[in-house]
Amino acid sequence: MTGEVRLGADVGGTFTDVVLATDEGLVTAKVPSTDDQSIGVMNGVRKACESAEIDPADVDEFTHAMTVSVNALLERSGAKTALVTTEGFRDVLEIGRQDRPDLYDLDATRPEPLVPRRRRFEIGERATPDGVTEIVDEDAVREVAAEIRECNAESVAVSLLHAYADADNERRVAEILGSELGVPVSASHEVLAEFREYERTSTTVVDAYVTPKIDSYLGRLSERAAEAGLPKPLVMQANGGIAAIDTVREHAVTTTMSGPAAGVVGASESAADLPKERDLRGLVTFDMGGTSSDVSLVRDGEAERATDAELAGQPVRTPMVDVTTVGAGGGSIAWVDSGGALRVGPRSAGADPGPACYGMGGTEPTVTDANLVLGYIGESTELGGELSLDVDAAHDALAELAAEAGLDGPVAAARGVYRVANANMARAIRSVTVERGHDPREFGLVAFGGAGPMHAGALAADLGIGTVVVPRACGVLSAYGLLAADEKHDAVRTHRVALDDAGPARIDEYYAELESAVLDDVRNPAAATVRRQADLRYTGQSFELTVAVGETFDPAAVADRFHETHESTYGYRMDDAVDLVNLRVSASVPRKGPAVASEASGDSHTGTREARFEDGTRYETPVYDRPGLARGRTVGGPAVIEGTESTVVVPPAWEAAVRPDGSLLLVEGDQ
């Protein structure tokens, strides 16, 4: 084998996807996910290597995305965590913010804190934004350590008041607790050196809560990889960049949206030239997997990023690709609520037992069962190339749903499930477009995931989107995105001051310290590009906007950028004074995704089957084998284009053309 061999493995709720890139092209594999995700990963690696006829020891680079941390949050299965905080701030996690989950619901409840009150401990100390005013008593810290030991905590979060400004007390507390207890200790000044007590404490607690699971999982994966001869894995972070495994094990909270971020990177890379080709403002990425659907926005070639999010009801402030997730995937279970309305998700059949049609004991109807009954998936289809389907089981499950919902048989129930799932996903797309001032009709839709291309055409038609791209590796695009992702590292520091009073020399010193911190994590600092940013707001505002900062801090130039950003975001600017709030630095090392080309061979037309579309009409629909479609070939709808990892549904009045890289461009027939 000549040339570099690169491997990407992404774990989803139902399947684990693998992409292997060699100088001869791409090899993909899809295998069922396992409870211990590292087992499923290695199963996929072996399958891909066997298909490529190479030994795992020939792999030069191994990149990985997983759902360990987000699953721990969703399932409340993380470590037994203790919190140490400043005296008087024990209940900050429960007090939170004044906003309500539902403004008019008098019985609205918030998720329980990850750390119950009995495992939250106070310690006498005090700091202000100007520095420490009361030094912590080390003997008192050891007494707290003894109390924590008695409650058998597996991890500890330390978040002291104003530790973002002066970390001396917090640093000493963390050192003593680590020495006394021998368990992981997450300190807020290392996790999130930002003001806002609630969000900083919550993010630190999340880091502590998931650290033992992440550390254990990545340790097992490293061992299994080493046994197979694979290199030590690189890991995808929530910010859309990869990092060394040892770095990630020290910053577990950065892995919370690992898999979805990889998908956005893969979609952006696969359709990078589409906005210019079709005169579009950007891309909407749409990843529909087995458990959920993830939607994001790409503009000017870059994925939208956020610095705060709420995961399983827990505020998390860490740079991440801005992804909106809804519980609508291929395995999402359809049900009837107390009012008799048909609902889909968020509960999922997962990989075991899976949808009824998997024939593995599942009896509840899912979106995949509906797609099978509608004819989008063929009765002889083998999902992932190896999982045969039981069409009778799908019909039986949907027949029961139809009886409960008062619908006329399994086909009517399947149409209802398909439409409800699409409505859920359409709302997600509107949330990242219309609700943020963007017209979805001015964007292209990039559809991927095992189920995404089956729903993309109908979704686009519903939203007025006239262009859909289905990448060649659409069924495993998150795994492909792992091979295209840059290496990225971020750092932040709160420095609140009126912009007019900000001393440029002092600010540049702070930036230099942040740059040194992020470059310490970069594998090859000489190849890194460093970018400076600042969070600013008008005096009196309670939210900030992030703007770029040059190599040296120029207050006037930064103010101009802020005014322009505020006007473009909110439609107006003000003459008020501007405050500097946070300084941000990111370092990235660019990487290029492997080349993808059409590999057409054989006769692409494989037959016909009956399928039903949005208007309810039955069509005798031609079926094509995707690998056999030559570049430049155009297929008119209705049509079904089958691949190993996914199926593309071309609605009536649409057509699909094969692009040079093997991706499919779906447009309405008159375009």
pLDDT one-digit tens code per residue, 417-437: 999 999 999 999 999 999 888
Q: Is residue 26's pLDDT more than 90?
A: no
Predicted pLDDT at 12: 80
Predicted pLDDT at 111: 84
Cβ atoms 384, 17 nearer than 8 A: no
Give CA angle at 41 (470, 30), nearest 5°: 35
Predicted pLDDT at 2: 56
Predicted pLDDT at 383: 60
Query: Would you put residue 209 in left (φ > 0), alpha (ψ -120 to 50) or beta?
Result: alpha
Instruction: Spell out the CATH class of 487-589.
Output: alpha beta
CA distance 421 to 100: 27
Q: Is residue 40's pLDDT more than 90?
A: yes
Q: Which of 434, 452, 472, 449 is nearest to 271 (CA)?
A: 472
- Residue identified by tokens 């254990």 is 216
CA distance 611 to 621: 6
Strands 120-123 and 15-22: unpaired
CA distance 357 to 359: 5
CA distance 300 to 279: 12
> Which of 67-81, 95-109, 620-634 shows the lowest mean pLDDT across its residues?
95-109
CA distance 372 to 328: 16
Predicted pLDDT at 601: 58
Predicted pLDDT at 646: 83
Count of CA atoms in the C-beta half-sphere (13 A) of 456: 40
Q: Which of 259, 217, 233 is nearest to 36 (CA)?
A: 217
pLDDT range class, residue 290, cuts 50, 70, 90: confident
Of residues 118 and 259, which shows the higher confidence score?
118
Residue ranges per domain, the chain? 77-213, 487-589
Average pLDDT, the chain: 90
Helix, strand, or coil here: 66?
coil
Task: Provide the percentage of residues in the chain whose pLDDT is more than 70.
Answer: 97
CA distance 242 to 541: 34
Q: Is residue 600's pLDDT more than 80?
A: no
Q: Is residue 49's pLDDT more than 70?
A: yes
Query: What burial class does residue 501 get, using C-beta atoms within 10 Å of its C-beta: 0-12 exposed, 13-18 middle, 19+ buried?
Result: exposed
Q: Is residue 204's pLDDT more than 90?
A: yes
pLDDT range class, residue 398, cuts 50, 70, 90: very high
Q: Is residue 385's pLDDT more than 60?
A: no
